Amino acid sequence: MVPGATIVTASVLRGLVALAGAAVLCLSGAAEARVLLTLDDFGAVGDGVANDTQAFVDAWTAACGSEEEAVVAVPAAKAYQIWPVQLSGPCKKKLKLLIAGTIVAPASPDEWAGRDPMKWLYVYGVDGLSVSGGGTIDGVGHEWWARSCKRKNTQAVHFEECRGVSVQGVTLQNGPQFHLSFTRCVDVKANFLRVVAPADSPNTDGIHLNDSSRVQIMDNLISTGDDCVSMVGNCSDVRVRDISCGPGHGISIGSLGKNRTTDRVENVRVDTCLLTNTTNGVRIKSWQGGTGSARDLRFEGIVMKNVSNPIIIDQYYCDQPTPCANQTEAVEVRKVEFVDVRGTSATAQAIRIACSDAVPCTELELRNVNLTVVGGGAATASCYRASGKAAGVVVPWSCLAKGDP
């Protein structure tokens, strides 16, 4: 439970449908009836200033408890200020959140006083939820960024313990930090999204996965101040395709193994992506001392334009002000392919593979890679404790060509 947040459960349904009265419209279809509820039906103002949280809560609760599939609509051409809220399941039927207008957060972080500062729109334990509608979710993160407090993983829209969730065709912008997160979710679709924040906005990851599986992330434009797509913990069966990324920090697996945790990321495919003006390209990063593995990973059909560090595997990742101590344990990196990766590097070193002495990287492959320095110069590659092979034409010359340990 989130301290101080508004908690919504199906158990408080009684009386709400009756309260809505004629505002609840049953739509008879060939298959089964559906219930349409708008925020305005429950008393929302929609001027972007008034606090419309209770109307949102009431509409959600009525929909979640409905005996028929329900649609909660956020009307177009209006803005609804919603304070931190927890939307909980299970719901009786599948539910759709149709966002045609705009949902906005309170502008000041001070409004989170007494609430969990890590969450704004938090959805827990809801199966079969669909979010669509072409509207906007605006995190109004400017004051968060200005304070440079670097709170850990403040998440604008966060799904946890959900199955069969779909977020498609909306804009997420100016998140306090992470824009869209999935934790311990299964069967996820995050497609046809526009995720935007200024390049200098801290920790504003686009789409973030934690302990989630069977995930599809496709046809998205992501331009933020951190990773366009990131995945940590235990993630598997992830497909990332047709992504325009940049500015930002690229597409990352990790960081893994922080605080000596065991993390496993496997069966991930990233293909047909354009990265422009990012500080990294495609990256695998892990802390010393962790355990687990990152394996069966394939990056294919990636185009880089003015990208710093286009290809990175880093088992010595250390994101803290003091140096990290050397440790013998490491997250294993194995069976990783980089195929048909081309473009320009903003740094002289286009490929950097730095693996552990104790747990070297194995079964790596570079195939048909062509990376040059912006302006036409020759790029370089470096490998440490990595083995694998190069195939086709690989530029810069592959440090894996000799299979060096």
Phi/psi of residue 56, each to 5°? -65, -45
Sheet holding 6-8, edge to edge: 6-8, 85-88, 119-124, 155-160, 178-183, 207-210, 229-232, 251-256, 282-286, 311-314, 349-354, 380-384
* Strand, helix or coil for residue 259: helix
Active site residue 249: yes
Residue 283, C-beta contacts closer than 8 angstroms, at least 6 positions apart: 250, 251, 252, 253, 254, 309, 311, 312, 313, 314
CA–CA gap between residue 273 and residue 298 (Å, rounded): 13
Active site residue 179: no
| 255, two tokens | 């960081």
CA–CA gap between residue 167 and residue 297 (Å, rounded): 24
- Side chain identity, residue 350: A
Residue pair 82/48 in contact by the 8 Å Cβ criterion: no
| 307, two tokens | 């990208």
**Backbone dihedral region for residue 64 (phi beyond 0: left; psi -120 to 50: alpha; all else: beta):** alpha
Name beta bridge partners: 345: 307, 373
- Side chain identity, residue 276: T
CA–CA gap between residue 26 and residue 374 (Å, rounded): 59
CA–CA gap between residue 310 and residue 344 (Å, rounded): 8
Catalytic residue among 41, 205, 226, 227: 226
Name beta bridge partners: 243: 220, 273
| 137, two tokens | 């979710």
Q: Is residue 321 classed exposed, middle or buried when 0-12, 13-18 and 19+ CB atoms within 10 A define those classes?
A: exposed
Catalytic residue among 41, 58, 249, 314: 249
CA–CA gap between residue 178 and residue 225 (Å, rounded): 10
Reported as type and span, the H/E element at residue 146 is: helix 142-147
Residues carrying an active site annotation? 226, 249
